[in-house]
Amino acid sequence: MSERSYSYSRQEINNDDIRSVTRVLRSDWLTQGPSVERFERDLSSKLRAKHVSVVSSGTAALHLLGLALGWRPGDLVITSPLTFLASANCILYAGATPDFVDIDPHSYTIDIGRLRDRIEEKKKQGKRVKAVVAVDYAGHPCDWKSLRELADRHGFQLVDDACHALGAKLGGDIGYAARFADAAVLSFHPVKHITTGEGGAVLTNDSRLDETLKILRTHGVTKNRAIMEKSDGPWYYEMHDLGFNYRITDLQCALGSSQLKRLDRIVSQRRRVAEYYDRVLSSADVLVTPGVSQEVEHSYHLYPLQVKFESLKVDRKELFERLSKKRINCQVHYIPVHLQPYYRKNYGFKEGDFPEAESFYRREISIPMYPSLGKDDLKYITTSLLESLEVQAFHQKGGKR
C-alpha cells in the first residue's frame, strides 16, 4: 500500500526548470526582459498562433481580452455555467451582461443546439449577442467547427477559454484554438498542464487585437511612433487607454519555456492515466467516465468522474471523508457559476436554469490526474474509490456485472 498522498492535481518541477529560473535570477532582467518574448515565441510556435501575449494570470488574460474586444455595458456575452468563476467574471469586469447556455451531457462543453436557440430567442427580443466564451472543460475541446459557423452567421466574437486544454487536439490539430476562435486564453497556475506559479496568455491570429493586449497589460502606455501624437524624445511615452500592470516576470517565463518543452510527454502521461481509469471504472454501473467526442484528443487537465450517488448509500461528503482518510483528496469541478450568490442576487439566475450543469455538479468528483501517477498509485486510488463507494468493478476490458 502506498504511503503517498494524492490530490486532484499537482505540479511537476525538475532540475532543468530550476536551472532555467536561476539563470534568469543571475541575469540583468527579472522582468520586461528577453525571457518574456522567448516564452511568447515558444507558445506561438507550439500552438500555431501568430501572436501571443503572456500576462500575470489566466484571469488577467480574460480581463484584458474582454476590454480589447470592446465589450461594453449593454453587451450580452454568453458562457458555460460549468466553469471556473473567471470565465464569467471577465464579462462583468467589462460591464457587459452575462448569460449562460447549458452543457452537452456527453462532452460537458457548451451545447451547440441550445446556444443556437438562445441566440435566436435573443434576436427576436431585438438583442444581439456580442461574444461567446466557450470553455474546453477538463481538456475536451468544444465543437469548434459548429461554434465558428454560428459566430460567422450571427456575427459574434468567439473566445476559447482553453485554460484546461493545453495540448489537446481537434481533428489532429494542436492549434485549433487560434484557428477557430478570435482569441484563446491559457492559465499557468500550478494545477494546470504547465506552470509559471501564476501566469496566463492570450493567443490570437489578429495582430491588432494582440497590440491592444500588449498595451493594456502595461498601463495602457505606448512608445510606438505610429500611434503617438508626437515625440518629445527618447524618454517620451503616451497613454491612450486605461491599462493595468498585468505583466508576468522573466523568472516565471523561463519556467514556462522550460516546462513547455515537456508538453507532449505531459499530455501523453495524462492520457495514459485516463485510459487506466476508463478501463477500471467504466465497468461499475454507478460510475460514468468522461465522454470523448470524435475528432477530439482530450488533454485531461481533470478526470471528471460522475457518481450516481442517488443509487448509493454513500453520499459525496461521506465519500470525501473516506477518501481523505486514505490520503486521497478529490475536488468538485464546478459549482455552476449561475448558482453563486453574486450571480443569483445581481443577475436573477436561479436553481433549475441549467439542469444539465446542475445535475453534473451533483454527481461530479475530480479524482487525481497528473503525469507522475504510476500503476501502483492508480491501483491504490481506484481500489480505494471502489471500496469507499462499496461497489465492485471488473478490472478487465469490457467487463460487465
Q: Is 234 exposed, middle or buried (0-12, 13-18, 19+ CB in 10 A)?
A: exposed
Element of type H or E holding 221: strand 221-222
- The answer to whether 101 and 110 are in contact (CB under 8 A) is yes
In the complex, what is the shortest distance from the CB of residue 231 to ligand PLP, in angstroms, rounded to a whole number?
Answer: 36
Q: Which residue is nearest to ligand PLP (CB)?
A: 58
The correct pick among 98, 141, 200, 336 for binding ligand PLP (CB under 6 A) is 200
9 binds ligand PLP (CB under 6 A): no
Minimum distance from residue 164 beta carbon to ligand PLP (Å): 5
* Residues in contact with ligand PLP, shown as a per-residue x/- string from 73 to 112 under the rule CB under 6 A: ----------xx-xx-------------------------
**Residue 161 is a binding residue for ligand PLP (CB under 6 A):** yes
Q: Which three cell numbers stand for residue 359?
A: 445535475
CB of 85 to ligand PLP, least distance (A): 8
Nearer to ligand PLP, 164 or 217 (CB): 164
Question: Of 35, 187, 204, 212, which one interacts with ligand PLP (CB under 6 A)?
Answer: 187
Tell me the window of 55-63, 122-130, 175-183, 258-266 that interacts with ligand PLP (CB under 6 A): 55-63
Asked if residues 160 and 177 have their Cβ atoms less than 8 Å apart, the reply is yes
The angle formed by the CA atoms of residues 44, 46 and 48, to the nearest 5 degrees, is 60
Note whether 135 binds ligand PLP by CB under 6 A: yes
Contact region for ligand PLP (CB under 6 A) — 16-24, 29-37, 52-60, 377-385? 52-60
Q: Mention every residue, 6+ apart, whose C-beta is less than 8 A from residue 274.
A: 290, 298, 300, 303, 369
Binding residue (CB under 6 A) for ligand PLP from 17, 35, 36, 58:
58
By CB under 6 A, residue 195 contacts ligand PLP: no
Among positions 51, 189, 214, 363, the unique one binding ligand PLP when judged by CB under 6 A: 189
Task: Retrieve residue 334's grid coordinates.
Answer: 464546478
Residue spans of beta strands (DSSP E) within 267-327: 287-288, 296-297, 304-307
Give the C-alpha separation, 364 to 347, whole Å.
26
Measure the CA–CA gap between 185 and 129, rounded to whole angstroms.
Answer: 20
# chain residues binding ligand PLP, by CB under 6 A: 14
All residues at 6 or more sequence positions from 382 whose CB lies less than 8 Å from its CB, including other chains? 276, 277, 280, 281, 393
Where does this chain bind ligand PLP (CB under 6 A)? Answer: 57-59, 83-84, 86-87, 135, 161, 163-164, 187, 189, 200
